[in-house]
Chains A and B, each alone.
Chain A
Amino acid sequence: MKRIKTVIVGMGKMGRIRYDAMKRHGGYDIVSVCDIDRNSLNGHSEPTHTDWRKCLALSDAETVVVCTYNGDVTEIVCHALNEGMHVFAEKPPGRNLGETKIMKDAHSGSGLVLKFGFNHRYHNSIIEAKTLIEHKLLGDLVCARGVYGKAGTPEFDKEWRNDPQISGGGILLDQGIHMIDLLCYFCGSFSQVHGSVDQLVWQGMKTEDSVFAILKTDDGKIASLHSSAIQWKHKFDLDLICTNGGISLNGLLTASRSYGEERITYYRKDLKQSTGKLGNPIEHTLCFDEDNSWDYEMSEFFEAVANGAPIENGTIDDALGVMGLIEKVYSA
């Protein structure tokens, strides 16, 4: 197996998750790790840095994995691309659409791999749902309903995520971006956007704590989104309605398991009641007790860098689409 010399910039929670996934993969040589907080580098045997520019300059790495605050992503990604490095960057792809476009320009014509961490596409329930939709096993997808909510924390309004200078936005950009990405993944590009962006509870906060959005594609698919920081519990639900049946995704397997068991339930339309009472067709549910998403995602990035395989998920065009929608929701 070819090996890829890699550095990780940002060794907070996401950096550590990526570090572990790359170690499990076995094809990555992590040659250096970097974080502005030296405490985050404790225990690492690799060379450590607190200045990302020095880290990139001294490491002789082919790739960089960027897991920093949102406000730093664009500069690091563009710098790395200009230095001829392949880049994997956590979501969001910049604080706003303008920053995503800057990264697009830096990447354009470089021949380098640029991938963003839209990790949810690699969850087992999403892969299963994509199979049903892609092969039209339940007919054509016509509409979707997504709810992604989190509990918040006692000092939620003071977190960096809600400092627009650092984050660029609130719950929609932080967590709702995953649901937006999934709605695009299943439905295609949305051309019409209606939304309501509010501070329903955290009144003094500079970012939103709730977003409702209605999205519509040119071919008539409709999706609704509720991105919430005031769910007071962790919640992930996505319903996909097709012409001949339905799919419900409930829960999401995470390290904390706080989003509940990850399940996909599918059923076929049965208006003639051949499998049960009207309104209660036979349903099948698949449950997952392993989260392979980080491994799948880092494996795809590896294949792209090492073997020239195409990036299927998290391309710069995916990023532009999602950030464009978010900008429309914020300005709706």
Chain B
Amino acid sequence: MLKAYSYIENEQLDSGIVDRQIFDKERQIILEFALNNPTPKMEKNCVFCNGATKDFATIDNVFYQRCKACFSIFANVDAELLKRYKAYEPLVDFRSSSEYQNSAAERRKEIWNDFLFWLEYRVARHLRKTSALDVIDVGNFYNAFSEKVKKATFCGSYNTAKAADIVLFLDHFRCLADPMDTLVDFWHKLKDDGILVMGVRVGSGFDIITLKDRLYSIYPYETLLLPSTEGLSIMLNSSGFDVLEISTPGTLDVEFVLQNKEFLDESDLFVHYLLNKTDQSILAEFQRFLQKSGMSSHARIIARKRAL
């Protein structure tokens, strides 16, 4: 397997992608749903590698486990309940509002452009083509991003009914009840040798491991699955894919921990020292170290459909 890491010298791009007001509003809607729909504690083996687990945290009435073998984190949520969550009207309405969409389109423009360039490059690398490809884009939140994908050089037909060269699965992995079934479904939707491109928040990332349940961006039902890169590789392999590359180009781990440093465990001396006694350039270098080492919490995965 080709192992690759993105190493981003300029960390300014990501810093403004989240509009805190919009984030808090969205979070509040989701919290209302979570508090009205408690999920009983239900232990099971790791959904990614079937390893033994231990308690991780209970967040907003939902119980999370951590796999002792692969470090993945997950919550067990009833599929029907999750279906109701995804159709929860206040959330659907808010996410389709112009306020939500316009903010994302404005704030994420450059990062989307950069991502699409990366995607075009990786498509050329792995499919050896840069045009007229059949694309299925599953469940991204943003209309403006969909429009960019449709206009991308590689995109021949968007959300094709035919078998696809590329399945794009960005951001939605985190709220699946049946991740394996979903991946197998993608396997069936792809042409032989087609590729699955995933963007996934991973539980082996620095901010998640450091802040645990005090990380404000991790909450039910929006984030139920936080696989480690290892756990995700195991599941993809079991679903009929060969993992071609995993990179962790996330740029926000250190920023997230900084924003929540009052919640840090007192005994975590290394992180306290890092955050309080070093300067911005050291923190930027540390973030790059996390990216390069596969320990940022945002991962990009490319996997090829394995022929039967």
Q: Is B4 an interface residue (CB 8 A)?
A: yes
Q: How far is the CA of A290 from the CA of B1 in the complex (A)?
A: 8
Complex interface residues of chain A between 278 and 298 (CB less than 8 A to chain B): 280-290, 292
Q: Which residue of B lies closest to A265 (CB)?
A: B7
Q: Tell me the count of chain A residues lying within 8 A, CB to CB, of chain B.
A: 27
Q: Is A147 an interface residue (CB 8 A)?
A: no
Give the A-B contact count at a CB cut-off of 8 A. 68
A137 touches B9 (CB 8 A): no
Q: Which residue of A lies closest to B288 (CB)?
A: A285
Q: How far is the CB of B103 from chain A (nearest CB, A)?
A: 18
State the majority secondary structure of interface residues on A: mixed
Q: How far is the CA of A135 from the CA of B120 in the complex (A)?
A: 10
Give 1 or 0 for each of B87-123: 1 = CB within 8 Å of chain A CB.
0000000000000000000000010001001101100
B292 touches A276 (CB 8 A): no
| Contact partners of A63 in chain B: CB under 8 A | none
B10 touches A284 (CB 8 A): no
Q: Which residue of A lies closest to B126 (CB)?
A: A131
Q: Which of B110, B118, B120, B121 gathers most chain A CB within 10 Å?
A: B121
| Contact partners of A289 in chain B: CB under 8 A | 3
- Of B3, B4, B10, B117, the residue contacting A276 (CB under 8 A) is B10
Residues of A at under 8 Å CB distance from B?
Answer: 124, 127-128, 131-132, 134-135, 137, 263, 265-266, 268, 274-276, 280-290, 292
Q: How far is the CB of A20 from chain B (nearest CB, A)?
A: 20
Residues of B at under 8 Å CB distance from A?
Answer: 1-10, 12-13, 110, 114, 117-118, 120-121, 124-125, 130, 247, 249, 292
Q: Which residue of A lies closest to B129 (CB)?
A: A135
Q: Which residue of B lies closest to A268 (CB)?
A: B117
Q: How far is the CA of A161 from the CA of B8 in the complex (A)?
A: 41
A283 touches B10 (CB 8 A): yes
Q: How far is the CA of A283 from the CA of B114 in the complex (A)?
A: 10
The answer to whether A282 and B130 touch (CB under 8 A), given A131-B125, A276-B10, is no
| Contact partners of B9 in chain A: CB under 8 A | 280, 282-283
B125 touches A128 (CB 8 A): yes
Q: Which residue of A lies closest to B291 (CB)?
A: A285
Q: Which residue of A lies closest to B292 (CB)?
A: A287
- Of A131, A268, A287, the residue contacting B4 (CB under 8 A) is A287
The answer to whether A286 and B114 touch (CB under 8 A), given A132-B121, A275-B13, is no
A286 touches B124 (CB 8 A): no
| Contact partners of B8 in chain A: CB under 8 A | 282-284
Q: Which residue of A lies closest to B125 (CB)?
A: A131
Q: How far is the CB of A102 from chain B (nearest CB, A)?
A: 36
The contact sample of 26 A-B pairs, CB cut-off 8 A, is A131-B125, A134-B124, A135-B130, A137-B121, A266-B121, A274-B110, A275-B10, A275-B13, A276-B10, A281-B10, A282-B8, A282-B10, A282-B13, A282-B114, A283-B9, A283-B10, A284-B6, A284-B7, A284-B118, A284-B249, A285-B7, A286-B5, A286-B7, A286-B247, A287-B5, A288-B4
